[in-house]
C-alpha cells in the first residue's frame, strides 16, 4: 500500500509518499519534502500565523509535485491520502485539509484524517536504514515533546491510547524557544540552546526542576523560564545558562518518563516531537533504556509529512472525505 501524506499544522509545508509491504510492521519513505518558512519567522522571533499560512498556500502545489516526482510514481500508484487535520494554526491546517479534500475527489483516493500529535509517534514506525529494524511493541509509553506539547500517553495498540499527563502551562520546546529568545537567539531556539550547551557547564546555575517529584504525570515549564530570566539578570555567560537550562528540562522529562513507565508497567518507550532531536536528552535516555527506547532520527522528530503518511497506514479512511474539517484545538480524545 502507498500513502501520500500532507502536513501543514504550523510553519512547515510537508508532503511525503510512503510504502508498506504486506506482512511488514515498518513503513519506508519513497519521498519526503519539507518547505519551511522558519527563516522568515526567525526575523520575528516566532511563528506569525498569517505569514505561515500565506507561505504554505504558495508552496503546497510545488511541494506535492516535487514529492510525486521524487517518488518516481504516478498518481495511479498512490492508494490513499493522509492529512493532518489538527491541532495547529487554523490558517495553516486549512491549506493542507482543503487541498487534500480536492485531491481525494479528483484523484478518487480515500482520505485519512491524522491527529498531528498521534502522527509524531508514527515517525518511530519508519524504517530509515537497511539495518535490522524493529517497531515499538504494545503496550508502550509515548512521550511527546514538541513546541506545543509535552504529553505522556499510554499506547495499548494502534488507535487505542490513553492520555496520562502533560504540561499545565508551557511545553518543553516552548521553554527552550522562550529562553533562547531571552538570550537573543533566533527561532526555533531549541537547536541553538543545545549547540551552546555543548560548551557550557550544566551545574553552573541551579535552575528549578518544576514538578519533578509531584505524584502525577504532569509537567510545568513556565516557572523555569522565569527562573532562567532571573538568573540571566545576574550573569551573561550564555553557554553555562544554556547548559543549565537544558539539564533542568532534560532531568524533568527523564524523571517523569521513568515514573510513568513504572506506574503503568511498560517496558518500551517511544519518544516523538522536535525536542526529541536534542542529543543530550537522546543519549541520556538511550543509556537508561537501551534497546527499549525508540527515538526517530532528528529530521523525523520535527514536523514532517512522512510521520503523517506513516500514521495513515493504521487509521481508517473517512466515509465522506468532504466532511473533514480542520480542528485547531484537537487533543488526545
Ligand atoms: O515537533 P516540532 O517540530 O513542532 C511542533 O509540533 O511543535 O517541535 C518544534 C520544537 C521547537 O520548540 C524547537 O525549539 C524544538 O522542537 N527543538 C529542539 C531541538 N530541535 C528542535 N529542542 C531542543 N533541542 C533540539 N535539538
Ligand atoms: Zn509537531
Q: What is the pLDDT of residue 46?
A: 74
> Residue 217's closest CA among 253, 250, 266?
253
Q: For residue 227, give the C-alpha cell.
A: 527562573
Q: Is 96 in the pocket of ligand 1 (CB under 6 A)?
A: no
Per-residue confidence (pLDDT) for residue 314, from 0 to 100: 97
Closest by Cα among 118, 113, 154 to 332? 118
Does 36 contact ligand 1 (Cβ within 6 A)?
A: no
Q: Which residues lie near ion ligand 2 (Cβ < 5 Å)?
A: 146, 303
Our answer on whether the CB atom of 188 is closer than 6 Å to any ligand 1 atom is yes
Which pLDDT score is estimated for 192?
A: 96
> Quick one: pLDDT at residue 282?
95
Question: What is the CA 102 to chain-centroid distance, rounded?
Answer: 26
191: Cβ below 6 Å to ligand 1? yes
Q: What is the predicted pLDDT for the residue at 284?
A: 95
CA of 79 to the centre of ligand 1 (A): 31
**Please, what sign has the CA dihedral across residues 31, 324, 272, 221?**
positive
Residues 116 and 57: their CA atoms lie apart, in Å, by 19
C-alpha cell at 264: 503503568
Q: By alpha-carbon position, which residue is closest to atom 23 of ligand 1?
A: 190
Residue with cell 532571573: 230
Q: pTM for the full model?
A: 0.95
Ligand nearest to the CA of 41: 1
| Residue ID of nearest Cα to ligand 1 atom 10 | 147
Instruction: Return the best residue to mutate from 122, 274, 331 for the ligand 1 pocket (most ligand atoms within 8 A of CB).
Output: 274
Q: Is the CB of 91 under 6 A from ligand 1?
A: no
- Atom of ligand 1 minimally distant from the CA of 88: 6
Q: What pLDDT, on a 0 to 100 scale, did the predictor assign at position 234?
A: 81
Distance CA 157, CA 242 (A): 38
Cα dist from 199 to 38, 173, 186, 238, whole Å: 25, 21, 19, 9
111's enclosing H/E stretch is: strand 111-115
143 forms beta bridges with: 152, 271
The pLDDT value recorded for residue 325 is: 98
Measured in angstroms, how far is the CA atom of residue 86 from the centroid of ligand 2? 10
92 Cα to the center of ligand 2, angstroms: 13
Instruction: Name residues of the chain where pLDDT drops below 50.
Output: none
CB of 176 closer than 6 angstroms to any ligand 1 atom = yes
Distance of CA 112 to the CA centre of its chain: 19
Q: How far apart are CA 255 and CA 260, in angstroms?
A: 9
Q: Which helix (H) or strand (E) holds 161?
A: strand 160-166
Distance of CA 298 from the midpoint of ligand 2 (Å):
13
Please name which ligand lies nearest the alpha carbon of 36.
Answer: 1
pLDDT on residue 245:
98
Question: Which of 243, 152, 251 has its CA nearest to residue 208?
Answer: 251
Q: How far, in Å, CA of 313 to CA of 2, rounded?
A: 9
Closest ligand 1 atom to the C-alpha of 194?
24
Q: What pLDDT shows up at residue 101?
A: 98
Amino acid at each position: 500500500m502507498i500513502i501520500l501524506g500532507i502536513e501543514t499544522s504550523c510553519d512547515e509545508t510537508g508532503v511525503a509518499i510512503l510504502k508498506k509491504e504486506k506482512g511488514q510492521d515498518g513503513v519506508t519513505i519513497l519521498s519526503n519534502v519539507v518547505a519551511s518558512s522558519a527563516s522568515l519567522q526567525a526575523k520575528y522571533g516566532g511563528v506569525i500565523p498569517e505569514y505561515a499560512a500565506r507561505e504554505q498556500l504558495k508552496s503546497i502545489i510545488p511541494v506535492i509535485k516535487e514529492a510525486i516526482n521524487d517518488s518516481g510514481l504516478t498518481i495511479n500508484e498512490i492508494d490513499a491520502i493522509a492529512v493532518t487535520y489538527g491541532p495547529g494554526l487554523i490558517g495553516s491546517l486549512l491549506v493542507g485539509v482543503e487541498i487534500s479534500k480536492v485531491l481525494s475527489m479528483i484523484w478518487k483516493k480515500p482520505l485519512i484524517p491524522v491527529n498531528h500529535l498521534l502522527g509524531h509517534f508514527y515517525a518511530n514506525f519508519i524504517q530509515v536504514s537497511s539495518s535490522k529494524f524493529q517497531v515499538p511493541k504494545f503496550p508502550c509509553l509515548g512521550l511527546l515533546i514538541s513546541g506545543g506539547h509535552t504529553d505522556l500517553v499510554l499506547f495499548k495498540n494502534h488507535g487505542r491510547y490513553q492520555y496520562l499527563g502533560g504540561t499545565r502551562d508551557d511545553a518543553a520546546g516552548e521553554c527552550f524557544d522562550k529562553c533562547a529568545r531571552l538570550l537573543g537567539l533566533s527561532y526555533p531556539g531549541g537547536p541553538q540552546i543545545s549547540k551552546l550547551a555543548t560548551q557550557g557547564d550544566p551545574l553552573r546555575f541551579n535552575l528549578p526542576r518544576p514538578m519533578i517529584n509531584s505524584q502525577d504525570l504532569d509537567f510545568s515549564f513556565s516557572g523555569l523560564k522565569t527562573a532562567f530570566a532571573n538568573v540571566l539578570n545576574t550573569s551573561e555567560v550564555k553557554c553555562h545558562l544554556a547548559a543549565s537550562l537544558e539539564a533542568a528540562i532534560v532531568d524533568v522529562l527523564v524523571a517523569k518518563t521513568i515514573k510513568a513507565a513504572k506506574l503503568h508497567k511498560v517496558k518500551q518507550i517511544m519518544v516523538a516531537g522536535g525536542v526529541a532531536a536534542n542529543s543530550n536528552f537522546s543519549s541520556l535516555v538511550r543509556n537508561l533504556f537501551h534497546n527499549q527506547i525508540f527515538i526517530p532520527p532528528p529530521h523525523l522528530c520535527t514536523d514532517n509529512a512522512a510521520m503523517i503518511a506513516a500514521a495513515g497506514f493504521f487509521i481508517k479512511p473517512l466515509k465522506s472525505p468532504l466532511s473533514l474539517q480542520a480542528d485547531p484545538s484537537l487533543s488526545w480524545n
